[in-house]
Amino acid sequence: MVSERSGPHDVGGDPAGPIARAEHEPAHWEKEADAIRMLLADGTRRFFTTDETRRVQEQLDAATYRTLPYYERWIHAFSTLLFDKGVLTRAEVETEEARLRREGRHRLPTETAAHDHDDDHDHAYQPDDDEGETELPPLRLRGLAVRERLIARGVLTRQEIRAEIERMDGRGEHLGARIVARAWADPGFRDRLAADGNAAAAELGIAPAATRLTALFNTDRLHNLVVCTLCSCYPRTVLGRPPAWYKSLAYRSRAVREPRAVLAEFGLTLPDGVEVRVHDSTAENRYLVVPLRPAGTEGWSEERLAGLVSRDAMIGVAAARWPV
């Protein structure tokens, strides 16, 4: 069943099957597509906003939306907006695609293709000949062509793209864990985190994001769970790139429909008396769950406390690790 509320992206509350929780390191092309999108949307360029890229994806028909891999949808979105805004023309990108084909850069080894899989569904590109290579999907080729034209026009440089990839590679759960550990150890910091997440993160030398960071505090009577039903909004500044399951249709659908069942799939069963509160992220607001501090950790250093905090706990699908 596809939600008819506002398009195929609007899946919150729809029935769905089990959540595929297998993880994989993003392929280079996925990191590059992500970096190009960020560079074009953030900072001084601002060729488009997150809402605009989402709007383009939301206009896809249901079959295409569900079939296209996650980062190919982003390539479709940012390339379409670049065409619409006159930054690039379709003709020059098509000419670039033809050049890439002539140079043989439209193919990749089968082994690589088998691992460059989607974040939303089971899909692997199959070889179309007997030479051990497979054709790049059209949007993957478009992504290469757009990159080359943006560099040729001086809009981006290869160094900027590389630096953005490295910047995102350097972000991860270790940053969020530092915030949680400080909040556990320092009541004053906890209060400041509750008032302004970005400012509190900045106290620890973590660069603030363009979006608002809101901390959600678990208690013995309340458990918070974070989802983005429309897309994949996520506190990337403090957790890095979102995991594949967070972006999946199954998680986005079921987190608001049956949160306790979702938590149980992740191995977390809460007492009946604990309220589960689901928070839907937006383009302007991102959430960070501060899990309950485990008992028996009094007097621990912040570094040791941070070791108890996982990415999943800061999304809300897990509790903090029990000290050993």
User: Please, what is the Cα angle at 265 between 260 and 267, to 5 degrees?
Assistant: 90
Architecture of domain 173-315 in this structure: Alpha-Beta Complex (3.90)
Strand 222-227 relative to strand 275-280: parallel, antiparallel, unpaired? parallel
- CA 193, 194, 195 angle in degrees (round to 5)? 90
CB 59 within 8 A of CB 7: yes
Q: Where are the domains of the chain?
A: 28-169, 173-315
Is the pLDDT score of 123 beyond 70?
no
What is the tens place of the pLDDT at every residue in 132-165?
A: 468 899 999 999 999 999 999 999 999 999 999 9
Least confident range of 1-5, 167-171, 228-232, 302-306: 1-5
Asked whether residue 324 carries a pLDDT value surpassing 90, the answer given is no
The CATH number of 28-169 is 1.10.472
Q: Annotated catalytic sites, by residue?
A: 228, 231-233
Say how far apart CA 93 and CA 99 lie, in whole Å.
10
Reading the block at residue 5, the tokens are 């509320």
Q: What is the pLDDT of residue 11?
A: 63
pLDDT given at position 124: 34
Element (H, E) at 264: helix 259-265
pTM of the model: 0.86
Q: Is the CB of residue 318 less than 8 Å from the CB of residue 310? A: yes
Check residue 269 and give its pLDDT.
97
> If you average pLDDT over every residue of the chain, what do you get?
88
Residue 155, classed as helix, strand or coil, is coil
Q: Could you please report the per-residue DSSP string of 70-97?
A: HHHHHHHHHHHHHHHTTSS-HHHHHHHH
pLDDT at residue 54, rounded to an integer: 85
pLDDT of residue 46: 84
Max Cα separation, the chain?
65
